[in-house]
Amino acid sequence: MKENADHFDLIVIGAGAAGLSVASGAAQMGVRVALIEARAMGGDCLNSGCVPSKALIAAAARAQAMREAEVFGIEAVEPVVDFPKVMEHVADVIAQIAPHDSQERFEGLGVTVIRGMARFTGPDALEVEGRRLTARRFVIATGSRPAIPPIPGLEDAGYLTNETIFDLRERPRHLIVLGGGPIGVELAQAFRRLGAQVTLVEAGTILNREDGQAVGVLRQALLREGVNVREGATVQAAGRGPDGPWLDLDGDRNGDRIKGSHLLVATGRAATVEGLGLEAAGVAHDRKGIAVDARLRTSNRRIHAIGDVVADAPSFTHVAGYHAGLVIRQAVLGLPAKADHAMIPRVTYGAPELAQIGLTEVEARKAHERIQVIRKDLAENDRARADRATEGWMKLILHRGRPVGVTIVAAHAGEMLAPWAQAMAAGTRLSKLSGMVLPYPTVAELGKAVTGTYFSEKLFGNPWVERVARAVQRLVP
């Protein structure tokens, strides 16, 4: 170890979405930054999360479109899926984005990129591969990793996670997906559309955080496309036979055994805090992750934590970017900034997509004594009719005339949610949204139709409004 430490203004641990955003922003403002990463630059989102999963989903959607073409007067056919080429497509998408997150780019921005595992040795110092570093401030952005449940025999069974499934070059004959959260649902549907037999196993109900009615629409789509959905199924044991892994459900080893060729474990995420030496740094943490205050500061005020490693924070790439902006304001510009997770949008990229911001209907009924729920079916939208994509709806949840939640289950629901994320963050009044002029025909008009329903219920059939209207007809020339 060197006697004299290398000193920086800011040291960022982790080169995923959160860490990269902080490092690039701070460096371009003249701050001396070190960025430490032991694994691939770009983190989970680029290499094993958002990017490869959406590329796979896009390929699966093309295959499904061929099966469903008859409604447009085009002969439906069963697609011939060249699975190795599909996975080459996934790898190519990653490769196209990778230069933006590369070590070379960040060194070009003036960031000192150090490869290796970081370990705190004190409240203001750490080591990387024997190199001692100190800084005025630190940012921990180490993200999360797949959480593996303690099921007897699971290690012997052999399993994939989101970190390894995109390395496949042979299509699974029968993919067992353990876990019915967003990752499990998305990949179960994608692999089914690409021709694999798929069984989805969930101890409770799939997507149990989301609006139950919206989940019902997506569940029916999964079943219709041939995914075997097993909800309320507790896995008692796992193992491996001659043809691949198996799971025993509900303790009946002989009667309810699911056998597959591959097993994907998608049972949640765990914060990556192992080996960081957080005790030496005086950083409080538990199994959920690192504890922070509203300013994302840890119990050591020199150290911020952002992204998936933060306990109880939403685990999304867009939240990581949001956290990064808050830290830059504080650590670089000296401005106050506090995190508010109340209006963080989220999307499950199934077909149809399920998008949510704010409270679900169930959450809103628990939080408020009285709410108003307005729902419009996609079947009422002309663009959806033209696209033959009328499955789904939008639900607006109001409290005292102000939106507190929006749920959309539809094709491209994530895109449809965007104006609502902006409106709810800015506190835009419903009258402004109702008065927007949107191009016709677009599915975005469904949102305007929802706001129009709110006002039409107040205007049409109202005796006071009718009296005013009649008076105007008599008195105004």
Confidence (pLDDT) at 458:
72
Q: Which residue has the higher pLDDT, 198 or 467?
A: 198
Question: Cβ distance 32 to 5 under 8 Å?
Answer: no
Annotation: binding site? 54, 142-144, 179-186, 202, 268, 308
- pLDDT tops 60 at residue 113: yes
Range 460-466 average pLDDT: 72
N- to C-terminal Cα distance for the chain? 92
Write out the chain in H/E/C secondary structure: CCCCCEEEEEEEECCCHHHHHHHHHHHCCCCCEEEEECCCCCHHHHHHCHHHHHHHHHHHHHHHHHHCHHHHCCCCCCCCCCHHHHHHHHHHHHHHHHHHHCHHHHHHCCCEEEECCEEEEECCEEEECCEEEEEEEEEECCCEEECCCCCCCHHHHCCECCCCHHHCCCCCCEEEEECCCHHHHHHHHHHHHCCCEEEEEECCCCCCCCCHHHHHHHHHHHHHCCCEEEECCCEEEEEEECCEEEEEECCCCCCCEEECCEEEECCCEEECCCCCCHHHHCCCEECCEECCCCCCECCCCCEEECHHHECCCCCCHHHHHHHHHHHHHHHHCCCCCCCCCCCCCEEECCCCEEEEEECCHHHHHHHCCCCEEEEEEHHHCHHHHHCCCCCCEEEEEEECCEEEEEEEEECCHHHHHHHHHHHHHHCCCHHHHHCCCCCCCCCCHHHHHHHHHHHHHHHCCCHHHHHHHHHHHHHCC
Annotated binding site for NAD(+): 179-186, 202, 268
Residue type, 193: R
For the cut 50, the answer to whether the pLDDT of residue 228 exceeds it is yes
Using 50, 70 and 90 to split pLDDT, how confident is the model at 250? confident
Determine the Cα–Cα distance for residues 432 and 448; give it in Å rounded to an integer: 10
Residue 465, pLDDT > 80, answer no
pLDDT for the residue 467: 76
Report the pLDDT value the prediction gives residue 3, as an integer from 0 to 100: 47
| 2 pLDDT higher than 90 | no
Q: Which residues are annotated as a binding site for FAD?
A: 54, 142-144, 308
The average pLDDT across 173-180 equals: 98
pLDDT in tens, 10-40: 999 999 999 999 999 999 999 999 999 999 9
Mean pLDDT score, 368-372: 95
> Please, what is the average pLDDT of the chain?
94
pLDDT range class, residue 306, cuts 50, 70, 90? very high
pTM: 0.94
Label residues 284-306 b or e (16+ Cβ within 10 Å = b). ebeeebbbbeeebbbebebbbbb
Q: Considering only 4-18, 284-298, 345-359, which range has the smallest mean pLDDT?
A: 4-18
- Given a cut of 60, whether residue 203 has pLDDT beyond it is yes
In the chain, the domains with their CATH numbers are 6-146+270-332 (3.50.50.60), 154-267 (3.50.50.60), 352-459 (3.30.390.30)
Write down the pLDDT at residue 180.
98
Q: Which two tokens stand for residue 149?
A: 């449940």
pLDDT of residue 5: 67
What is the β-pairing status of strands 131-140 and 303-305? parallel
* pLDDT band, very low/low/confident/very high, at 253 (cuts 50, 70, 90): very low
pLDDT of 459 reads 67
From the list 142, 133, 132, the residue with the least C-alpha distance to 33 is 133
Q: Among 181-195, 243-257, 331-345, 458-472, where is mean pLDDT lowest? A: 458-472
Q: Which residue has the tokens 């701050």?
A: 31
pLDDT classification of 209: cutoffs 50, 70, 90:
very high
Q: Residue 175: its pLDDT value, please?
A: 98
